[in-house]
Amino acid sequence: MSNNQKIYLFIALSALLYACGQDNRERSKIPPTPFQTESIQNTASLEALTDAIRRNPSLAENYYKRAIVLNKMGESQKALEDINRADRLKQNTGKYLFVKALILRDMKQNREAFAFAQSAEILNVDTPELYTLLGDLSQQRNDLKNAEQYLAKSLQLAPFDGETFFYQGTLAARKGDTLTALLKMNRAIEMKPSLKLAYSSLTEVLRNRALYDSALAVNNSALVQFPKNSEFLVDRGLVFNKFGRLDSALIYFNKAIKMDEKRSDAILYSASIYFRRKNYDKALKLYEKVLDANPETPKINYSIALTLEQLGLLTKAEEFLKAQVEKDPNDTQTIIALNRVSGEVNSALGVYTAPIPIPVKKAPIAVSKAKSVVDEPKRLLDTARIRVNIITPKKKVNIKTDTSRRLKF
């Protein structure tokens, strides 16, 4: 893409996003439905369905409906329990399996979700939502051809479905077609302004393309639409972090943490900024906060150890590195750091211990066509279908043979 085309793309997207923002401001004069309304409706529906289940616990349909409401409210585990009850009461019902697939996808169990979505398709669930789900899950399996076919089928049934356009955008991004990805995701937001995923994904694509003004414009629309969603504050912080405005990034990460104290990602982003600024005491407090909340956070022991090393607390750093190696003995990065820190600790004590060997991944053996490195297995005959007559040697030794003839097998 030439520089002129890039400039044109930037201007076109900026104008389009500005128009969307202007349209949002016009709609705000109506005024729009408050964000809390959906929450209130879900709570009312949940109470009504719970009461209905209490009166008649053998009706599968009520468990199915309550599973949908619970999943919308973010209670995926409870939703899964309800849809499992519905499935037990009325087995092989396609719409139940479809909802189960939706719930499992939200729980990041994509393999199981794909299996149930396929079962729903076999049971003749012919809805655009199912094909959109299958398109998304096929992408997660790196089956881009089938993903494209499922999404195209969904659009045949519902030509103006914003969610389908969004997943077409993510598919284009996977293929490296950034322009199509931007247009599809922007179209998804126009069609379905309540689609949260579209805002974050579009912001990420624009951020990675260094189109920071456009990324912030999309993020503004998201914050207007969802003022109480901490995820979009994190997205905004990441944009500022990307082009070096670290103070602004910290402001939005801290806002996200105040809105949701469990946002470990925002805490880790803030800690990394403090670490880069050599404010190791502040970084250490934040890393320890994440460790206390979730000890299984990937590489958290490693991050704490590096911070302790910078503070000169080598013995403590060594303990955290050893804990990380116990969790993952093949973590090369941590093993290198542990050997370095242990070497300094042992040097101060005047002792020597052998360093931990770094695991080496064995490269696959390249087999040359000219000369095989590994002997190929001998061809075997299927004796179940071919009768083999065993040739026994003659007893006489002095038998003339014609050595010019070759035996053919």
pLDDT at 23 over 60: no
pLDDT digits (tens, 9 = 90+) for 69-110: 999 988 999 999 999 999 999 999 999 999 999 999 999 999
Confidence category of residue 307, pLDDT binned at 50, 70, 90 = very high
pLDDT at 119 over 90: yes
Give the DSSP letter of residue 265.
Answer: H
On whether the pTM is more than 0.75, the answer is no
- For residue 180, the number of C-alpha atoms closer than 13 Å in the C-beta half-sphere is 12
Residue 152 CB contacts under 8 Å (≥ 6 apart), including other chains = none
Cα–Cα distance, 108 to 247 (Å, whole number) = 33
pLDDT, position 358: 81
pLDDT, position 407: 39
Q: Measuring CA to CA, how many Å separate 122 from each of 95, 148, 156, 243, 350?
A: 11, 19, 19, 49, 70
> 326: closest CA among 351, 294, 349, 295?
295
Give the DSSP letter of residue 362.
Answer: P
DSSP reduced 3-state for 321 = helix
Cα–Cα distance, 132 to 389 (Å, whole number) = 61
190 vs 350 pLDDT, higher one: 190
Q: What is the mean pLDDT of residues 218-222?
A: 95
Q: Which of 126-135, 297-306, 345-354 comes out lowest in average pLDDT? A: 345-354
Cα–Cα distance, 19 to 187 (Å, whole number) = 13
Q: What amino acid occupies position 204? A: E
pLDDT, position 110: 94
The percent of residues in the chain predicted with pLDDT above 70, rounded, is 79
pLDDT digits (tens, 9 = 90+) for 138-159: 999 999 999 999 999 999 999 9
The whole-angstrom distance between residue 373's C-alpha and the CA centroid of its chain comes to 40
> 216: closest CA among 13, 27, 4, 28?
13
> 73: closest CA among 97, 96, 50, 98?
50
Residue 30 CB contacts under 8 Å (≥ 6 apart), including other chains = none
pLDDT digits (tens, 9 = 90+) for 346-399: 888 887 777 888 887 665 555 444 443 334 444 344 444 444 444 444 444 444
pLDDT, position 356: 83
